Every structure is written in structure tokens, then in C-alpha cells.
Amino acid sequence: MIIRKKIKSTATILALFFVIISCSTISVFSPEAYKQAVDLKVESLEVMSFATMPYTDYEEDVDFLSTELSKAYEFSKGRPDNEISTRQWEILINPDGNLLGGFLKRWDEEETLSQMFVTEMQRLVADAFDTIIGLESGKIDPSEIK
Amino acid sequence: MPNFNDFILTVKNDLLDFAKENLEEYKDELLKDGTQFVKKTKSDLERWTEGLASGTLSPADFEFLLKGKKDLAEMEALKQLGLSKIRITKVTNSIIDVIAGSAIRTFL
């Protein structure tokens, strides 16, 4: 009877252990994803700095940046167990949102934006990229996995 | 000759030491990140309110920034969620190491 109870409690602990492991799955560190996010942060802030000037003068730069952002999103989406990082990219580039995607859309719609608004949005977008970079750099290096 | 009860006792003590060390470190990191975000939000709101009052920010700009801050908060929360998942993975690996270490020290 005591042995049965011990087996039952051990099985419960093991089951719980495996549930925790399965719920905690997250992608490993990718140097490519990290570099992509750092490079795009620099490029995005650079393009944003021109938003006090007419959108039409920078349309090509915005189109190029948007394509690079879409590539980064698709790369993130294609990695296994990478839903959290992918959701972060979605929020950042969503044209109907209020970060980088929404900023570029608003610049297009209003042709020019005020200096203070641009500066403040650059701060928000920089912090937003930092959340993506911070999560990626916290991921476990594949060589550390046992 | 050590028995299974000695092993369980060693594992229990080793795991307790491990948990104390790691949970304290995690709590400190989480508090630091949370405090930093609140501080930044406060100073952002002060600047934006001044900008709105002086006319350097339009009401539409102000509203856009506030919504942007909300989106940023969601991204920050996702980062914390991801980091806690990574920590669980690391802790799981470490628990296996602790148990293996306890077994070696007890039986060998």
C-alpha cells in the first residue's frame, strides 16, 4: 500500500515535470535573428529621422525598409517554437498599430510629421526593438543544450 | 553504505539551496525591469503632456504616443514571458544536474 502511494506520487511529480518542460519550450538563440534585429533597429531609426520631410521624397527608403522588416518577420515565423518573438515582430510592424508600422503609415498619410512626435516615436521604437533583441540574446545557445 | 533515504535527503537539501539562489536572482531581475519601465513611462508622460500643452504635439500625436506605449508594454510583457520560459528550461537542466550530483555524492 505504501509502495503504491510512493509510485503514484512519483508518477505525479514526473508528469508535472514533463508538463512544465513541454509548456516551457522556446526557440534557441539565433545569431542571424539577433543581427537582423540590431541592423533593422539602426536602419529604422535612420529612416524615421527623415519623417519631418515629405514622405514622397523617401518613399523608396520606406519601401525598402518595409521589405526588410517583412523578411525579418517571416524569418521569425519560420523558426520552430518561436511564437513569442514572432508576436513581438507583429506588434512592431503592424500598420494599424502604434509603433513602427503605424508610424510609417501615418507619415505616408500626413506627408510630414512634427519634430517632437518623430523624436518621441524614435524612443518608443528603439525600446520596442530592444525587447526583441533582449529576448533573443537571453535565449539558450544551442551548444548549451544537453 | 548509504541508502535511498540518504539520497532523497541530499537531493532535497541541494534543491533547496539551488531554489534559494536562483529564485532570488530572478525576483531581482524582474523587479529591476518592472521599475525601469514604470520610471520611463512616467518621464515620457511628463514630456508628452508638456508637448501637448505647448502645442509641439497635436492631440492626435499625443494619442498615438499613448497607444504606442501600450503596444510597447505588450512587447515588454512578451519579452518577460519568453525570458521566464528560458529560465524554466535552464532550471530544468540544472535540476537534472543537481539530482545527478546528489546521486554521485551519496552512492559513489
Please name the residues in contact with A62: beta carbons below 8 A apart, sequence gap of 6 or more: A47, A55, A104, A107, A108
Residue B84 has pLDDT above 80, yes or no: yes
pLDDT given at position B27: 76
Domain boundaries, given as residue ranges, for chain B: 4-107
Distance between CA atoms of residues A50 and A118, nearest Å: 9
Instruction: Select the residue of A123, A138, A146 nearest B86 (Cβ to Cβ).
Output: A138
Q: What is the DSSP string of B30-75?
A: HHHHHHHHHHHHHHHHHHHHHHHHHTSS-HHHHHHHHHHHHHHHHH
Chain B, 74 to 103: residues with Cβ < 8 Å from chain A are 74-76, 78-79, 81-83, 85-86, 88-90, 92-93, 96
Percent of chain B scored above 90 by pLDDT?
40
pLDDT exceeds cutoff 90 at B23: no
Q: Does B13 touch chain A (CB under 8 A)?
A: no
Whether residue B68 has pLDDT greater than 60: yes
- Higher local confidence (pLDDT), B2 or A69: A69
The whole-angstrom separation of Cα B101 and Cα A90 is: 43
As given in the structure block, the three cell numbers for residue A55 are 514622405
DSSP one-letter string for B70-104:
HHHHHHHHHHHHHHHHHHHHHHHHHHHHHHHHHHH
Say which residue the cell 507583429 belongs to: A90
**Given this model, what pLDDT does residue A89 score?**
98
Q: Do B89 and A26 count as a contact with CB atoms less than 8 A apart?
A: yes
* Structure-model confidence comparison of residues A103 and B17, the more confident one: A103
Q: Which residues of chain A have pLDDT under 50?
A: none
B61-79: average pLDDT: 96
Residue A40 pLDDT: 98
* Long-range CB pairs of A3-9, under 8 A, 24+ apart, other chains included: none
Instruction: Tell me what pLDDT residue B57 has.
Output: 97
The pLDDT of B25-36, averaged and rounded, is 79
Identity at B65, one-letter amino acid code? L
Given pLDDT bands bounded at 50, 70 and 90, which one contains residue B78? Answer: very high
Nearest chain B residue to A140 by CA: give it. B86
Q: How much is the mean pLDDT over chain A?
A: 90
8-state DSSP, A30: -
Q: pLDDT by residue (tens digit) across A45-82?
A: 999 999 999 999 999 999 999 999 999 999 999 999 99
pLDDT value at residue A129:
98
Enumerate the domain spans of chain A: 27-140
Give the CA distances from residue A33 to residues A6, A27, B71, in Å, rounded to whole numbers and listed in that order: 46, 11, 21
**Calpha distance A5→A51 (Å, rounded):** 69
Q: What pLDDT, on the 0 to 100 scale, is given for residue B30?
A: 76
**What's the pLDDT score for residue B66?**
96
Q: Which residue of B has its CA nearest to A134?
A: B79
For residue A4, the model assigns a pLDDT of 61
More confident residue, B101 or A125: A125
Interface contact A22, partner B, CB < 8 A: no
| pLDDT exceeds 60 at position B21 | yes
Separation of CA B30 from chain center: 4
A103 touches A48 (CB < 8 A): yes
Q: What pLDDT is attached to residue A21? A: 52
What pLDDT does residue A24 have?
Answer: 60
A&B contacts, CB < 8 Å: 106
CB < 8 Å to B71, chain A: 91-92, 97-99, 128
